[in-house]
Each structure stands twice: as structure tokens, then as C-alpha cells.
């Protein structure tokens, strides 16, 4: 059975920088730079311009990952796209990315399958487990896994929504998961979910139980009220469960892999809130040199945070071949996951 390893990484963030001061001065949100940094560690984030789709962000990241993997687009056997902010309700972003990559127009096109994953901040790790399994069973040789988000179009950029809107930014990360006979790759992954807290972090933009699923005006125009249209979050619940679940799944995955924290060379935590990650780091006694972080510059890019971090760490030399990497995430659902890879 072949091993599955990450053969290439790529990332893309929009050029437009939105600082905490911009949220106050440009958007009129009653907040301050100090208030946001104290609670989240975020200093700025990136916003896409109107007309840019989530699959567009994914395209840039994918092309870089494919090039760095040293393969051709026609070598891909599958696309997995993780996002909570798809281009539209359906179809998913995977088929749009397939088309934008030109895979439908190649002379030797295989019309590879495109799978969309909706596990929010844990989406990349759910996708990584899926991609690794596809490769290890021999059903695919190269799987393109993308995490991408366009949050800026769907957050309440007013004082009413400041507790959530200050957290999120746009961006995309991608990896190619490939088969190898070398003794390296994704060693262990573990996932979990607790649907009892599904409404503690949610965007209930429609209610499919109702007929019609959106309230309608007498003229037949759909109307979405603020409590449905914008994301909402029970911040205390999310913080507490994120800390508990991330620590638990990381420790379980290490134990099942026969590893201790000292064996891990680099910890790549989902970038939801710097204070959450610092709490976990301090609780587990992880030294600073084994941590990577970019939430200060990008905010929470949900499914994209871990692949962006991997790409940046590889470019900077922080992530080197042979290193053991632990990736951990927690998100809406609640969902969580951990994966350990030998780079």
C-alpha cells in the first residue's frame, strides 16, 4: 500500500488589506484596534473585491500547489474543495475549479471527480483524511485538496455584527496529496463532531423546513432577516470547546501514533483566535519555536488557514523535509480534527 504525502503547497490571499482601524474608520464599526487585538490577536485581514468568487481564490492557490508538486494538471485524479462560503448554493466549488483549471478542455482530460466538503474550520483536515485514504487505497495517485473562503461578502460589517465580523478574512490554500513508496507522509488522522452545538456557531441563511425556505414579500421577492443572514456565535462556548477538543484530539492522535509532544517538530493550529492557540500552547508546554501563526495578518480564513500556514512555513524554511508536523483544527458543527504527517 503506498504512502500519501503532501507533494506541493500553494496559497493566495487577495491584495486588499483591511486593518482594524479600517473596520472603525471605513466601515463605521464601533471598535478599536486595541479591542480586537486584545481578544483575538488579529491586526488585519484580506478582503476580495466584488466579482471574485471563492473558486477564483482556490484557482490561484491550486496552480501554485500543482506546480510545486512537479506534476501536470492532467495528472490529477481528484479534486476536494473545502469551504463554508461557496460560489453559490449549488453546485459546489469543486466543479467550478475543475473548469477554471482547464481540466474539461484538455485532450487527455479524465473528467476527474470533484468532491465538496462542508466542515467549516475543520474542512481541510476532513479533506486531508479523505485524500490520504484515496491515495493509500490506490484509487488515486494525485489528489488536489483546496481550502478557500470569501467571508467578506457574508459578514455583518456594522457595529451590530462586530463580534464576528472582526474575526474573518478571505484567502485560499491548496495542497497536492500524492502517492509515494518512500517512508514519509500522512501517518495518522483523527476526526470528530458534536452536533449538540450545531447552532452555537452558525449562519442560518435559509430554513429548508419552511415553505418557501425564505420569507417572501407580496411581490414574491425573498427577504432575509438579519438573524438569518449573518453568522452568529456563542463566543464563550466556542472558546471552551475549542480548547478542550483541540487538546484532546491532538493528544489522542499522538498517543495512537506512538509519539509525544516532544517528537513533534512543528504544530500547525487552525487560526481562529490567537488567544485560543496561546492557551493550548501554554497548557501543553509547546515552545514558541515549534509554533507558526499568521492570524495577525489574515484573520480567520476558516478552511484555508492550515494550508496557507503550511505553504508559508515551507517557503520560509520553517517547515523542512523529515519534520513531523501536527495539524489541529476546531470549527462550527462542532467539528474537529488532527493529522500528523512526516514531511
104 is catalytic: no
Catalytic residue selected from 232, 277, 300, 338: 300
Catalytic residue selected from 121, 142, 277, 338: 121
151 is catalytic: no
> Which residue, 337, 308, 269, 277, is CA-closest to 123?
337
Which H or E run contains 8? strand 3-12
Q: Are 339 and 128 in contact (CB under 8 A)?
A: yes
121 is catalytic: yes
Q: Are 50 and 170 in contact (CB under 8 A)?
A: no
Q: Are 46 and 169 in contact (CB under 8 A)?
A: yes
Q: Does the bond joining 212 to the residue before it have cis omega, within 30 degrees of 0?
A: yes
Catalytic residue selected from 142, 151, 232, 270: 270
> Which residue, 82, 83, 79, is CA-closest to 97?
79
Q: Are 137 and 1 in contact (CB under 8 A)?
A: yes
Q: Does the bond joining 91 to the residue before it have cis omega, within 30 degrees of 0?
A: yes
Q: Which residues are known catalytic residues?
A: 121, 270, 300
Amino acid at each position: 500500500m503506498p504512502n500519501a504525502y503532501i507533494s506541493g503547497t500553494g496559497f493566495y490571499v487577495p491584495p486588499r488589506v483591511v486593518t482594524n482601524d479600517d473596520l472603525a474608520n471605513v466601515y463605521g464599526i464601533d471598535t478599536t484596534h486595541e479591542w480586537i487585538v486584545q481578544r483575538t490577536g488579529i491586526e488585519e485581514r484580506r478582503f476580495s473585491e466584488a466579482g471574485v468568487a471563492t473558486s477564483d481564490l482556490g484557482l490561484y492557490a491550486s496552480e501554485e500547489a500543482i506546480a510545486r508538486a512537479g506534476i501536470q494538471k492532467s495528472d490529477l485524479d481528484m479534486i476536494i474543495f473545502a469551504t463554508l462560503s461557496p460560489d453559490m448554493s449549488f453546485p459546489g466549488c469543486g466543479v467550478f475549479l475543475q473548469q477554471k483549471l482547464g481540466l474539461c478542455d484538455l485532450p487527455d482530460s479524465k473528467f476527474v471527480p470533484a468532491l465538496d466538503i462542508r466542515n467549516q474550520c475543520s474542512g481541510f483536515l476532513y479533506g486531508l483524511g479523505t485524500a490520504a485514504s484515496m491515495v493509500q487505497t490506490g484509487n488515486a495517485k494525485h489528489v488536489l485538496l483546496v481550502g478557500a473562503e470569501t467571508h467578506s461578502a457574508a459578514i455583518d460589517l456594522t457595529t451590530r455584527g462586530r463580534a464576528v465580523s472582526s474575526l474573518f478574512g478571505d484567502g485560499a490554500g491548496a495542497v497536492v496529496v500524492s502517492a509515494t513508496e518512500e517512508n514519509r507522509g500522512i501517518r495518522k488522522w483523527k476526526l470528530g463532531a458534536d452536533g449538540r452545538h450545531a447552532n452555537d456557531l452558525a449562519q442560518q441563511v435559509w430554513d429548508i423546513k419552511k415553505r418557501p425556505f425564505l420569507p417572501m414579500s407580496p411581490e414574491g421577492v425573498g427577504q432575509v432577516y438579519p438573524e438569518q443572514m449573518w453568522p452568529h456565535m456563542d463566543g464563550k462556548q466556542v472558546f471552551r470547546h475549542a480548547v478542550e477538543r483541540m487538546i484532546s484530539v491532538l493528544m489522542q492522535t499522538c498517543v495512537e501514533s506512538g509519539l509525544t509532544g516532544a517528537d513533534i517538530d512543528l504544530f500547525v493550529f487552525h487560526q481562529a483566535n490567537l488567544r485560543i492557540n496561546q492557551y493550548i500552547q501554554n497548557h501543553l508546554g509547546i515552545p514558541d519555536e515549534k509554533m507558526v501563526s499568521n492570524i495577525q495578518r489574515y484573520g480567520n480564513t476558516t478552511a484555508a488557514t492550515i494550508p496557507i500556514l503550511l505553504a508559508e512555513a515551507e517557503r520560509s524554511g520553517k517547515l523542512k523535509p523529515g519534520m513531523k508536523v501536527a495539524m489541529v483544527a476546531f470549527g462550527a458543527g462542532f467539528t474537529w480534527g488532527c493529522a500528523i504527517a512526516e514531511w
